[in-house]
């Protein structure tokens, strides 16, 4: 018995140093691996998966007529997810179309008045040209008549001398006198014709001026009618746009979340009815301590571990580093000039792009906690 107890004591004396040595070696190896890892990597658990969350809100007020999606349902870009009661909007569109047709008919009437005014102006122009030609003809006739008067006067003077010398008969004298008086009367008549032609020209010019004034007024009416037509067309486009607002369309692919709308509910512009979580692109926001980002830069590889999938590691890269600390964007940022300054290590958000976020075996969702390790060397 004594020998057995002595053997046990001697065995313990041998094992204890060995166990101690193993523990020391394990601790040294663990410390070495941690130090080596820390020299080449910077990690943090203060990080989450992020995604674009798009709020769905109407642009017009109205009563909900139909809801086509359910909570957590996947939708595609362009899908109709909700419809408002659009009966009044359709009536407004029909009214705008009727007003546009009326404005178009008004434009046609005014343009026909323009055609009539153009025809009248052409007729007046023809009258002016005719009057001007008549004046020229009358003046030419007056000149010809004056020549005849001169010739008749000269003949009369010769016959008057001959009559006094009894070399011409009384009949010849009377004929020369009559010819002279007839030529003079003809000049007076032709001069009156010139005055009449000038009066006609003046009247035609006055009528032309009135026609131009009328044409100018009708042209203004045409411009106003066309502007009215454009305004009615704009009203149609506005009514169509308002009608399109009655249908809420999915702006992206994703999942419906936080749906808080029911059929028959009155909604107002800007009221958030639901949200769509856009899973087309996921990224990670990692909040590193300011003492960790010295060697970080864009493009460095990142190893990501998601808490939901133990043992699975994802790949990523640094996309950008925020230009200010997270505290600068807080609701009540610290004011270090008030005399109660306490130094606190700040956190700087780093955006990390996930390179294999489309792995169907591991579905990633916004808000998941992750651990990231950036390879700085």
Mean pLDDT for 226-253 is: 89
Q: What is the pLDDT of residue 338?
A: 66
Q: In the numeric block, which tokens belong to residue 212?
A: 């131009």
Handedness of CA 8, 10, 13, 16 (dihedral sign): negative
Mean pLDDT for 12-38 is: 69
What's the residue count for the chain?
377
Helix (H) or strand (E) holding 180: helix 170-244
Range from 22-31, 60-69, 80-89, 168-177 carrying the lowest mean pLDDT: 168-177
What is the pLDDT confidence band of residue 252, given thresholds at 50, 70 and 90? very high
Q: Are 132 and 198 in contact (CB under 8 A)?
A: no
Q: Over 70: is that where the pLDDT of 116 sits?
A: no
Q: Are 373 and 313 in contact (CB under 8 A)?
A: no
Residue 95 lies in a domain: yes
| Coil/strand/helix, residue 61 | coil
pTM over the 0.95 mark: no
Q: In the numeric block, which tokens belong to residue 278?
A: 């856009």
Question: How far apart are the C-alpha atoms of 169 and 208, rounded to whole Å?
Answer: 59
* Tokens 């362009």 belong to residue: 78
CATH classification of the domain holding 145: 1.10.287.620
Question: How far apart are the C-alpha atoms of 345 and 347, rounded to whole Å?
Answer: 7
Q: What is the pLDDT of residue 330?
A: 81
Residue 291 lies in a domain: no
Q: Over 70: is that where the pLDDT of 41 sits?
A: yes
Q: Over 80: is that where the pLDDT of 5 sits?
A: no
Question: Which tens digits make up the pLDDT trace of 153-168?
Answer: 776 677 667 666 666 6
Residue 164 lies in a domain: yes
Beta strands in the chain (DSSP E): 41-44, 47-56, 62-67, 74-75, 80-84, 247-249, 254-257, 266-267, 274-289, 301-306, 313-321, 347-354, 370-375
Under DSSP, the state recorded for 310 is T
Residue 110 lies in a domain: yes
The parent domain of residue 127 ranges over 89-243
Mean pLDDT of the chain: 80
| Coil/strand/helix, residue 279 | strand
Question: Which tens digits make up the pLDDT trace of 359-375?
Answer: 667 788 899 999 999 98
Question: How far apart are the C-alpha atoms of 180 and 190, rounded to whole Å?
Answer: 16
Q: Are 354 and 284 in contact (CB under 8 A)?
A: yes
Residue 347 lies in a domain: no
Q: Over 50: is that where the pLDDT of 331 sits?
A: yes
Cβ count near 232 (within 10 Å): 19
Q: What is the pLDDT of residue 1?
A: 47
Question: Which tens digits make up the pLDDT trace of 301-324?
Answer: 999 999 988 888 899 999 999 999
Residue 97 lies in a domain: yes
What is the pLDDT confidence band of residue 212, given thresholds at 50, 70 and 90? low
What is the pLDDT confidence band of residue 11, given thresholds at 50, 70 and 90? low
Residue 22 lies in a domain: no
Residue 171 lies in a domain: yes
Q: C-alpha distances in angstroms, 291 versus 22, 27, 287, 296, 325?
A: 35, 27, 12, 11, 12
Q: What is the pLDDT of residue 204?
A: 67
Q: C-alpha distances in angstroms, 292 versus 4, 43, 286, 300, 329?
A: 59, 8, 12, 14, 20
Question: How far apart are the C-alpha atoms of 310 and 227, rounded to whole Å?
Answer: 70
Q: What are phi and psi of 75, to 5 degrees?
A: -125, 160
Question: How far apart are the C-alpha atoms of 363 and 305, rounded to whole Å?
Answer: 13
Beta-carbon contacts of 160 under 8 Å, excluding residues fewer than 6 positions away, are 173, 176
Under DSSP, the state recorded for 45 is S
Percent of the chain with pLDDT over 70: 68
| Closest to 275 measured CA to CA, from 184, 188, 366 | 366
Mean pLDDT for 50-58 is: 94
Q: Are 248 and 80 in contact (CB under 8 A)?
A: yes
Q: Are 305 and 313 in contact (CB under 8 A)?
A: yes
What is the pLDDT confidence band of residue 209, given thresholds at 50, 70 and 90? low
Query: For the chain, what is the domain count?
Result: 1
| Closest to 212 measured CA to CA, from 314, 317, 342, 114 | 114
Mean pLDDT for 114-126 is: 60
């Amino acid at each position: 018995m004594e020998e057995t107890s002595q053997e046990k004591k001697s065995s313990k004396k041998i094992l204890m140093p060995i166990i101690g040595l193993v523990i020391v070696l394990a601790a040294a190896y663990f410390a070495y691996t941690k130090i080596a890892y820390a020299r080449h990597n910077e990690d943090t658990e203060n990080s989450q998966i992020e995604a674009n969350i798009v709020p769905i809100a109407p642009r017009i007020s109205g009563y909900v007529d139909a809801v086509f999606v359910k909570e957590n349902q996947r939708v595609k870009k362009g899908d109709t997810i909700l419809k408002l009661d659009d009966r009044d909007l359709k009536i407004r569109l029909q009214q705008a179309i009727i007003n546009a047709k009326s404005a178009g008919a008004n434009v046609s009437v005014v343009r026909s008045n323009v055609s009539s005014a153009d025809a009248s102006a052409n007729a007046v122009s023809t009258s002016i040209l005719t009057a001007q030609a008549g004046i020229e003809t009358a003046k030419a006739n007056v000149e010809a008549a004056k020549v005849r008067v001169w010739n008749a006067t000269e003949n009369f003077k010769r016959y008057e001398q001959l009559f006094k010398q009894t070399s011409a008969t009384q009949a010849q004298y009377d004929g020369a006198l009559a010819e002279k008086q007839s030529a003079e009367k003809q000049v007076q008549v032709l001069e009156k014709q010139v005055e009449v032609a000038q009066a006609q020209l003046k009247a035609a010019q006055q009528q032309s001026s009135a026609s131009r004034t009328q044409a100018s007024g009708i042209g203004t009416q045409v411009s106003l009618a066309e502007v009215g037509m454009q305004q009615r067309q704009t009203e149609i486009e506005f009514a169509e746009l308002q009608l399109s607002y009655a249908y809420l369309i999915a702006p992206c692919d994703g999942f419906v979340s936080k749906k808080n709308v029911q059929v028959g509910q009155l909604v107002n512009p800007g009221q958030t009815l639901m949200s769509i979580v856009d899973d087309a692109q996921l990224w990670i926001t990692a909040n590193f301590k300011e003492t960790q980002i010295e060697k970080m830069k864009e493009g460095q590889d990142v190893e990501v571990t998601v808490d939901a999938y133990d043992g699975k590691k994802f790949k990523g890269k640094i996309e950008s580093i925020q230009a200010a600390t997270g505290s600068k964007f807080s609701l009540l940022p610290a004011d270090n000039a008030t005399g109660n300054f306490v130094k606190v290590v700040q956190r700087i958000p780093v955006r990390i792009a996930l390179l294999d976020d489309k792995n169907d075996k591991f579905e990633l969702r916004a808000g998941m906690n992750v651990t990231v390790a950036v390879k700085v060397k």
